[in-house]
Amino acid sequence: MQLVSELSKKIIKEVQLVMNEHVIVTDPRGIIIASTEEKRVGFFHEGAWNVMQRKQKLYISKKEAADLKGVKPGINLPISYQGDIIGVIGITGTPEAVEPFADIIRRLTELIIREAYYIEAKE
């Protein structure tokens, strides 16, 4: 299952209501498909691409952000569906401070994806 843009935008919209940090969702190529900063949509995010390649979360410091294309300091986490990584969710801020929120958002995103797939399959 692909992480569809419309579903990602809905997730971002809901997260934006309760958080001040910026959030992105990327596709497997590292292209931002949804963001609290609309101007970032469609651009490459090297941190997310690295997460897809390594299949593990990535902490990004200010120094590292300066060296990576399209990246801000924060944390990037893989989004999984049935054992496959289908995208990445990223949250700006001090990685240690935003990690608990990032993990919750990632888990809820995966839950929403499973529910959407179940509803689609049922129809």
Question: For the segment 16-44, what is each residue's pLDDT rounded down to a tens digit?
Answer: 888 889 999 999 999 999 999 999 999 99
SS3 at position 49: helix
The pTM for the full model equals 0.88
Contact (CB, 8 A) for 24 and 90: yes
Q: How far apart are CA 17 and CA 34, in angstroms?
A: 15
Contact (CB, 8 A) for 24 and 47: no
What is the percent of the chain with per-residue pLDDT over 90, rounded to a whole number? 58
Is pLDDT larger for residue 119 or for residue 30? Answer: 30
Contact (CB, 8 A) for 53 and 31: no
Q: Which residue has the tokens 């401070």?
A: 97
